[in-house]
Structure 1
């Protein structure tokens, strides 16, 4: 689609909008905000607003020139109308002072709204005429339309001017778009982007739609009645003067009998359908109660689900990675303090070596495990701790001299020397 929307060759970001482009965007946003029914024909260039007055749909076309809002917008209407705000020559171009005096500080949305308000106060009148002869502004496009060709809008009975001595004959049907035919005198080009050949819906005469959308085909009405042809002048005069005779003849027509029969069948079908609807009323009421009960269940389940979701959110927050890391740091710090306190009690002589080995090794092992940042490191450090800190049951207190005990305490991070242990033993001996 690059031939419709050409892309820039560069792949970098778009350049920033200048002040004129920013003002253009603000005017377009004002137009969109003021008119929700706005249709975008071409982005940032052409817009259309349809509105209906007196059962006639009129489109207001807004064309923004390249230097807008420095240049005035081009506002036109279609179909051509007669109004004091519209040019009387073509009936499409709006020549209101709001448009001719449009400036940089004007508000496009408010200007268009003022035009629509004026149209509502003083409704425009559609220009009369059918075919291209009635629209001197229409022009032949330089290329045939690729879509289906539609004829011009047909004027209603109230819009058809009375025939006069100088009235032009009705135009012939439009040929295929590929056929080139003369278009009469030269015509001024229509406004840019104006669609001039939209069709009007034509109601069908052989069918009528009811309120429920069903179609009923009326019986064919003959152009002449053979029964009247067989009557003499006296009978015809009597029928013309006596309404009862005319009504009797009218009722005896087969077309009216067909309509009456169809009416009776339709009434019977309506009565039958009404009876079926009444029979289904208890079932529908039961379904309605079931639906209300299930709706209450749905409301309760929704409330319970929201409560559980809130609980799940709280639990997930309490078990998040940052929370677990903080708890591990606190537990590791607490285990380290307890192990240091156990070592101090042992050095002060308040505990014997059996109690020291039991408590100290356990606290230091827990501390090393809690300081590991991840589970694989926890597993590996558990193995290392098992090799460094042997279980108290595997260590004999008699097999530990001062040097060996000092090595265990030093590897534990306490930095206790053999001299300190000798000092402890001498203090215990003097005691």
Structure 2
């Protein structure tokens, strides 16, 4: 028994990955004389770790019973929970063919094995938690740096970066990141046009602008709440998928909300294994940074659209429209000034009074000073303005 304990200690302290450690543990148990090579052995790691369980000499049906917390028939079945941070996480179980005097020794050795395995699994969870936190922070930093380092980056590029990080960190096969059109209120799932959907989704003319919010992702937007389901087809919130659409087995969706306002969504689907609480936390953090960037980019787009409208109005006006600073120098002047021989850029930074007829300068200067002092716009005045050819016109 001392030799077996030594082997267990070496296995628990070795740098090998989790699956190798679990298999080694069962190998050591199977090699112990009190169990024997024909004993049924099971090691269930509990939630949050993969592989979730390994078995030896149990049928598929018996494995399912053990995972469901039930006892398979036949022989003597011993079960010991795996302790970790004061909580039971998984178990070690063994089925002996006969009851004999070795039961006490078997039970004692199982408990010792459970202590060692529990300590190794606790360390595994800590390491994975640290790695996940590091990966999450790196992903968020990457998205933020992409936005800050690339002025004018498109919403599709930002959405693509958020989706890529979400898929990578959660192991999701598919997904999309999209934003709500501030004017129309529709969802623009801009990443749905990417190759992965074009190649795998056989729905003809798949839209990426949705006016109605249906199914699982629609529930996320309507309720402004995250949703995680590992049985999408049976989820009552699902509305099914059209023929030819990618089959959704597992779904994770998180709304992108900034200051209480819904701005978009990050939706993920079909990882190799079930989604867990850590995946939900990861998607939530990505959705938070996505919402912050969406807020800024959508505001920039709104201001740009307003500026374009103003420029269109100014360009269509027959009047010269200008602005000047407190020092009386032009800060902006419309293109209509070309009618009088000037280019707008050659006037910006020069004094307004420089272009007023000498006899009208005093009147214009007083009006300008009064406007600065009162904060009101200049009154309508008639004074003469110098053309580039040296002649004057009344404005």
The normalised TM-score by structure 2 is 0.22
Q: Which has the higher contact order (CA 8 A, sep 6+)?
A: 2
More strand by share: 2
